[in-house]
Amino acid sequence: MSPTEVATAERDPASELAAKRFTIPPYDVQVGPVGHLHRERARLAALEWEHFDARPLGATVGAELSGIALSGDLPDEAVAELRAALLAYKAVFFRDQPLSPADHVAFAHRFGELEVHPFIPANAEHPELVRFEKSADVGGYENAWHADVTWRECPSMGAVLHAIQVPPTGGDTLFCDMGAVYEGLDADTRARIDDLVAVHDFMQVFGHQVPDADKPAMRERYPTVEHPVVRTHPETGRRTLFVNRVFTSHIVGMDRDDSAALLDRLCRQADYPEYQCRFQWTPDAVAFWDNRAVQHYAASDYWPDVRIMERASIIGDRPS
């Protein structure tokens, strides 16, 4: 501090905000405590489990589970408890799980029927396993907040991602609690979007790889679908924001510019770290997330290193 400057503040300037969020003008950026998280954070902190231990990662999303092996014949009671943990934490993570492709498929299948992705290469022997093999020649483009395959009439219930080879640094995956995002919106915005419907379209991301001659047939097979902007989780009853920049085209009944502005504002809410957790991959780590409750973002900061992952996705319900 220079000799001409005098410290005059007698209290923290935040004391005048009464622990509320504050928008910094002229920007639509908020600062301040995200107070509504405390109830969910306290609920998760009080949970106890019989078949594994849990270490929460984020305030309301993510937990690393230990003391359980995912390969082999897990008892039904353990599978039921894993499902309960998935619903509670929205994303759960495991270390040191050397799964064979058959093990991976068998574990994911305990939670429902598995889908086959039409646009991403699969494991050579197990078409249910999408294979993400990144290198100097194939970069990572999954670094945008999204829920998987929302262009399907019935998007995935969840996904089980297994790390086969990871770079020495980088390549983390971030997860965002979209229920907390929705609850963090102001009342006027929630009222505005509660009954809106949005169009989702595979062409926004995968259209470039479909030859022009094949596009009519592919469009007939995978037409655009309409999902509510705010869906209700079919098992927890929680309301979650269900739009993303990757697959959401526009909001039905709105001018395209107004739709784009609203979607951008809604999608930007996932950028706040308070709603997130971050998982640092190690070889044979596994992430299992609830695609109805979270969005994810795969950091693409490891090029030209190699990152190889395989994912099994569990068929879900039609959002409502």
The residues annotated as belonging to the active site are: 146, 148, 296, 311
d(Cα 130, Cα 117) in Å, to the nearest integer? 7
Would you call 272 helix, strand, or coil by DSSP?
coil
50, 253 contact by CB (below 8 A): no
The structure tokens 């000799």 sit at 3
303, 100 contact by CB (below 8 A): no
91, 275 contact by CB (below 8 A): no
| CA distances from residue 150 to 85, 224, 298, 317 in whole angstroms, order as listed | 23, 10, 17, 11
SS3 letters across 47-115: CCCCCCEEEECCCCCCEEEECCCCCCCCCHHHHHHHHHHHHHHCEEEECCCCCCHHHHHHHHHCCCCEC
CA atoms within 13 A on the CB side of 223: 4
**292-309 burial string, b = 16+ CB within 10 Å, else e?**
bbbbbbbebebbebbbeb
User: Which residues are within 8 A (CB) of 89 and not within 5 positions of it... i.e. 6 or more apart?
Assistant: 44, 54, 56, 61, 62, 63
Would you call 198 helix, strand, or coil by DSSP?
strand
